[in-house]
Chain A
């Protein structure tokens, strides 16, 4: 077990280092001088040169990489060119919106998908299965912003249960803040649940044909008990894989939903930074997301080992 975990951990660390090099290299290649950008078009060449020296941009490449990477480790990402505030402050403001949103959406998606998958798989080919899988097909096909608009119309405009958009901040109280996250979370979760439900169903159907399911039935366990106790855990590996991919997407790929709900999340920050050529912010957020994805993959690898003893190796 420890050997497996250690190996995964080392691989994750190496991936992170490699990714940081790639991100740094790409930023080096991109055209545009940050000093020139900050000083404006009218600045003289000497002024630019002085600022470049101050910013350390004239140092050798390796030194600049090490300085940057060292900064990342101590959470010093540098200063935003356009806002002139530390990048870490910008990011921190946004993460407290994006991370809870992603977590709620992921939880919702799992809570919907697993029972749907179990229901469908246990009624394979019958009306209940056809109906739920038809609905899931619809859920995969319909874009999430359309769900978002329908949800706003129903719960905000019509029923006045939750605000239609914006985020009051966690300072306004947890319940009030949560209320403004619930609709976007549902809009994000529905298509994910549809995909995850289909994966859970097909994984379960495969497992239900295994010999050990028959062994469990021959013990006298009713079908439902066999499904939950024996089949589900064996079907978890593909489900966990998809879940990991979905979490990574939910952290970074929520720009459209954030725009529909006027949420100050990471997606909007990176979008703004790109349009304003605020490269240091882009660089930092990309690095942060890379780290998040690697971390998620590590967690997924660990959960594989929890689910399947064969991956732990012999003691």
Chain B
């Protein structure tokens, strides 16, 4: 018998249809993956099962959990189910815990509420489940507050809250999207173990096809609120009967064409980083000992040649963003020198940096956060033009903006729109247009595609490749995503605890990692080819 049965579920918020005739079943002990791009209705499906929908949402159809009609249940019945028989894990570990309550209080709260256990007993059970998710009492006492934990540790607390009462069904909505690949692999392992220990059903929601393939027994693919294909993971992905399934799979593995590969040593280096370090003052542990500085970046050297594409990969907190900020002269190194086109940029006054800033631009991860919502595209894209020696007149400036927009695949009419009128992918095109308008020699891209859906991501990677081929722009990609490194980079640098521990040609490093840090990254990185092959063996 199925644990969860969703039949012909339709959902509308106000007059906007969100879900149309969704069908889904989960049996005890089964892992079902729900895949789709942003806005496809994945999260809304999950919230319908929890009956935590926003106001004005109306659901029709049948959702039955363990024989209970969810859509007809009273709020009291739902409160009894939530957190007891159905647990839920959310995407954003940094904000999903109450900052003013200890982790012990937050885990014990649900236990006390549902079992009417006393404080001591509930805390005892909270201690056990926290220990089970990998937060042993000795290192993580119940009295810790969320801000004292890292993102991965917080996600473990959230899983502990969701699994404290051994739910029959766990819903995990993008549980690892905000984490780096090594943490992601650990969290996925934990979820897999909890499923087999308790014969728990798991609904795993993700936009990442590789993650879902590794985890799920069956797949349901959602597009614009409708199920396009559902079935066993191995069969669905190997046969790819529905064109959208094939589209998703292709986009996930997309490698942009770069017919003119870069030849190493072909020119004088564009960027030289020599023995650069960045130390922050540490906390004093004793009145009598001086505080030990924290070395975010420690003795790093690298070079980038014109038109070369370099990927800097590493786990979150390894110092890669700090290094990027120093290269962009947004932060000052405490040791070493950085030279751009042969001229040192370290320790120079702001006015002297103008030529360097003009030839070195940046693209950030979040296409939503990096634009002022009150300014028109013309002004936003033209922003770096103030770095030019001669300020262009207005018609000339419009001409330049139109040209930059054309190069990233947008039209001249988009110039008079505001950022909110664009989709996430289009906004990332805008930030690339802004980066290339001064015809830079180097673009630093900090996780430029992590916030994008797979199909959009493939298009943006194509755009990066095209601009590299056409305009000869060199790239420094900063990413924890090895597929980006594989797709885009001539050379890969692996960073670990502030140091560069491995470097080499992209294929060499990614296929035959030598350092421990690189091996950990490669082993943890989800890979669709590998995952499908493994599923094929398992499922025959």
Interface of A toward B, CB cutoff 8 Å: 210-212, 214-222, 225, 229-230, 233-234, 307-310, 314
Contacts and interface: CB of A to CB of B under 8 A. Distances in A.
A219 B82 contact: yes
Contact of A222 (B79, B81, B162, B283): B79
Given A220-B84, A234-B98, 16 more contacts: A211-B92, A211-B95, A215-B96, A215-B97, A215-B106, A215-B158, A216-B98, A218-B50, A218-B162, A220-B114, A221-B113, A229-B109, A230-B101, A307-B100, A309-B99, A309-B100
| Chief secondary structure at chain A's binding surface | helix
A199 B45 CA distance: 35
Contacts of B83: 218-221
Contact of A233 (B81, B84, B88, B100): B100
A220 B109 CA distance: 10
B449 interface: no
A125 B337 CA distance: 58
B36 interface: no
Contacts of A216: 98, 109
Interface of B: 50, 52, 75-76, 79-84, 87-88, 90, 92, 95-102, 106, 109-110, 113-114, 145, 147-148, 158, 161-162, 283
A220 B96 contact: no
Nearest to A216: B98
Contacts, number: 76
Contacts of B88: 218
Contacts of A310: 99, 145, 147
Given A211-B90, A214-B90, A310-B147, A221 B100 contact: no
The 5 tightest CB contacts between A and B, nearest first, are A220-B83, A219-B110, A219-B83, A220-B82, A211-B95
A309 B102 CA distance: 9
Contacts of A214: 52, 90, 96
A314 B113 contact: no
Given A218-B52, A310-B145, A212 B79 contact: no
Contacts of A219: 82-83, 109-110, 113, 161
A234 B100 contact: yes
14 contacts: A211-B96, A215-B161, A216-B98, A216-B109, A218-B90, A220-B80, A220-B81, A221-B83, A230-B101, A234-B98, A234-B100, A309-B100, A309-B145, A310-B99
B87 A212 contact: no
Given A210-B95, A212-B98, A309-B100, A217 B52 contact: yes
A314 B285 CA distance: 12
Contacts of B162: 218
Q: Which of A219, A221, A222, A307 has the most CB of B within 10 A?
A: A219
A217 B95 contact: no
Nearest to A220: B83
Contact of B97 (A212, A218, A221, A222): A212
Nearest to B75: A222
Contacts of A222: 75-76, 79
Contacts of A225: 113
Contacts of B75: 222
